[in-house]
């Protein structure tokens, strides 16, 4: 049975990945692909995950880092169950954030030891890794300008500031460069213009649609 390819868009807050994700999906659909859009934390197809996301990220909840990450990991389990039910209905499942966000943010929302025990020892064994990762590399100044420009509600993670985001970015680069995984990783220069980023996305779409038919989703 054919399985959809799971694509996770990654990067620090302000990298521009969410906007690019929309464009990526449009390009796939324009080429006749069936695509499910989702997100790692607060999956819109699972109502309880939407509620949990709102609660965990609300500053007034005042949760410890450990409690937050345990709830985030519970959402990943629910996502995994949901994707297994629908994976034969789509060509691609495209998620805003995923596995590498869990690793990179937990390193600094709690610590590396907690990351290893919760995600690398447990979650890596009981949930599926992504097939494809598209990572948006952005410098601190550009990311900050974009976060300010959004002028929306700031969640508890974004409130941790630029220094926190820089540490998370370093963890992203470390994990993407050294952790053994079965994912195909693409790097996008997110400092580029909108048109430049779209050109990079177009190139990625071209590569993905020309992958051998034998490519199967991780399970």
Starting at the edge strand found earlier in the chain, the sheet holding 35-39 runs 35-39, 92-96, 5-10, 132-137, 184-189
Within-domain flag for 182: yes
What residue numbers bound the domain in which 144 lies?
5-208
On whether residue 167 sits in a domain, the answer given is yes
**What pLDDT, on a 0 to 100 scale, did the predictor assign at position 160?**
85
pLDDT at 213: 46
Q: Is residue 215 one of the residues assigned to a domain?
A: no
Does residue 217 form part of some domain?
Answer: no
Q: How high is the pLDDT of residue 149? A: 72
Number of domains making up the chain: 1
Rounded (5°) CA angle 7-54-158: 75
CATH number at residue 181: 3.40.50.300
Look at residue 181 in the predicted model and tell me its pLDDT: 58
The count of C-alpha atoms lying within 13 angstroms of the C-alpha of 50, restricted to the half-sphere facing its C-beta, is: 5
Determine the pLDDT at residue 216: 43
List the chain pLDDT tens, one digit each, 219 residues: 568 999 999 999 888 898 999 999 999 999 999 999 999 999 999 999 999 999 999 999 999 999 999 999 999 999 999 999 999 999 999 999 999 999 999 999 999 999 999 999 999 999 999 999 999 999 988 877 877 776 666 778 878 888 999 999 999 999 998 765 567 899 999 999 999 999 999 999 999 998 664 344 333
């Amino acid at each position: 049975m054919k399985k959809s390819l799971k694509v996770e868009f990654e990067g620090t807050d302000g990298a521009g990945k969410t906007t690019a994700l929309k464009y990526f999906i449009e390009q796939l659909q324009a080429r006749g692909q069936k695509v499910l859009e989702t997100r790692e934390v607060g999956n819109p197809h699972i109502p309880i995950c939407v509620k949990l996301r709102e609660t965990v990220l609300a500053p007034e909840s005042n949760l410890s880092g450990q409690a937050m990450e345990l709830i985030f990991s519970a959402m990943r389990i629910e996502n995994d169950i949901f994707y297994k039910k629908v994976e034969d209905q789509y060509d691609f499942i495209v998620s805003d954030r995923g596995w590498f966000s869990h690793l990179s943010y937990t390193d600094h929302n709690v610590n590396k030891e907690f990351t290893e025990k919760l995600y690398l020892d447990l979650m890596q064994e009981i949930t599926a890794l992504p097939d494809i990762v598209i990572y948006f590399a952005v410098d601190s100044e550009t990311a900050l300008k974009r976060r300010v420009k959004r002028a929306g509600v700031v969640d508890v993670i974004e409130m941790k500031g630029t220094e926190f985001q820089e540490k998370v970015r370093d963890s992203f680069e470390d994990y993407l460069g050294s952790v053994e995984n079965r994912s195909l990783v693409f790097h996008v220069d997110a400092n580029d213009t909108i048109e430049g980023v779209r050109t990079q996305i177009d190139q990625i779409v071209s590569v993905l649609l020309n992958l051998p038919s034998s490519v199967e989703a991780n399970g």
